[in-house]
């Protein structure tokens, strides 16, 4: 058994990056490889007993994370700030612990979080790029106007019932979401959509982006887009954007023991400035 006793348990927070490509999402599932199970197994191997890892959010199959947050309890002699190094020596190459720290017992990765922020990346150049492919939706079939997408996003800010962007299969009892920020911007050949909210519905961002692309290419009007979510016309939302373009960017807390360099903006933007456009 591991060191210590139940009364000496300490809570440890982790900032986690993972490439979602070969994971069946965050949450532990029978017969599937998941992020939660992989990290739990590594911790259990160190402590010599099972542990439960509590995450800030449940990313879906194929979705990446630049700064997922989780916590677990342990009673070993390993200091909180050493767990990142200890775990990184045992985890596979598609998971990385950016930082670890001991936190107080009331602190909770999920329930203490004030918001989560996701980024969706759309690569719009006709020519494919191997280094961008794993992290973006390669969409070049029609020009996308970020101004139209931004105009569609702005009315979403606030507390709304977003059942139109709620996939079936969720155990959540309601579809109310407080959207705190919603923006679209372009970085040369990449179009980014970033959404920040107190929480997210199952499949929400991918369903939303699928419809925003229709708006951005002029296939769907701004009025129709707004009418769909205001009047909860779930049947009109038919397409979900590919998982690989979505990344859990960061999670916000009133008290967080990590410097911003560990968690704030750790998914690099793809930079094209200065690159030759010649064929």
pLDDT digits (tens, 9 = 90+) for 38-77: 999 999 999 999 999 999 999 999 999 999 999 999 999 9
Q: By 3-state DSSP, what share of the chain in percent is helix, strand and coil, each rounded to 5?
A: 30, 25, 45
Say yes or no: domain 115-251 is CATH 3.30.70.660: yes
Provide the annotated active-site residues.
60
Closest C-alpha among 29, 270, 27 to residue 135:
270
pLDDT at 7: 53
pLDDT at 272: 56
Range list of H helices, the chain: 35-47, 83-88, 146-153, 204-216, 222-230, 260-263
Mean pLDDT of the chain, nearest integer: 93
Is the pTM higher than 0.85? The answer reads yes
Dump pLDDT digits (tens) for 122-135.
Answer: 999 999 999 999 99
pLDDT category of residue 172 using cuts at 50, 70 and 90: confident
pLDDT at 184: 98
Tell which CATH classification among 3.30.70.580, 3.30.70.2470, 3.40.718.10, 3.40.640.10 matches the domain 6-112: 3.30.70.580
pLDDT category of residue 276 using cuts at 50, 70 and 90: very low
Q: Is the dihedral of CA 40, 45, 47, 50 positive or negative?
A: positive
Phi then psi for residue 156, to 5 deg, are -75, -20
pLDDT at 235: 94
Closest C-alpha among 184, 237, 249, 233 to residue 206:
237
Contact 151/139 with Cβ under 8 angstroms? no
CB under 8 Å to 130, separation ≥6 — which residues? Answer: none
Domain boundaries, the chain: 6-112, 115-251
pLDDT category of residue 173 using cuts at 50, 70 and 90: confident
């Amino acid at each position: 058994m591991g060191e210590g006793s139940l009364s000496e348990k300490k809570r440890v927070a982790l900032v986690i990056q993972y490439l979602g490509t070969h994971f069946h999402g965050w949450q532990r599932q029978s017969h599937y490889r998941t992020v939660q199970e992989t990290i739990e197994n590594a911790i259990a191997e160190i402590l010599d007993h099972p542990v439960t890892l509590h995450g800030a959010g449940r990313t879906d199959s194929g979705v990446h994370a630049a700064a997922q947050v989780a916590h677990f309890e342990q009673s070993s002699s390993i200091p909180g700030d050493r767990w990142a190094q200890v775990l990184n020596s045992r985890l596979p190459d598609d998971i990385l612990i950016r930082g670890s720290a001991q936190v107080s017992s009331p602190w909770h990765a999920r329930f203490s979080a004030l918001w989560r922020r996701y980024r969706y990346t759309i690569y719009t150049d006709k020519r494919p790029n191997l280094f961008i492919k794993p992290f973006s939706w390669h969409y070049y079939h029609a020009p996308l106007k970020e101004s139209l997408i931004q105009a569609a996003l702005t009315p979403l800010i606030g507390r709304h019932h977003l059942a139109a962007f709620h996939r079936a299969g969720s155990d959540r009892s309601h579809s109310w979401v407080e959207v705190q920020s919603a923006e679209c911007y372009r970085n040369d050949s990449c179009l980014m959509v970033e959404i920040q909210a107190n929480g997210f519905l199952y499949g929400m961002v991918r369903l939303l982006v699928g419809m925003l692309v229709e708006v951005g290419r002029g296939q769907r009007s701004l009025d129709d887009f707004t009418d769909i979510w205001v009047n909860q016309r779930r049947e009109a939302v038919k397409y979900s954007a590919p998982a690989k373009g979505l990344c859990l960017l960061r999670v916000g807390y009133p008290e967080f023991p990590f410097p911003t360099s560990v968690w704030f903006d750790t998914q690099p933007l793809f930079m094209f400035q200065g690159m030759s456009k010649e064929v």
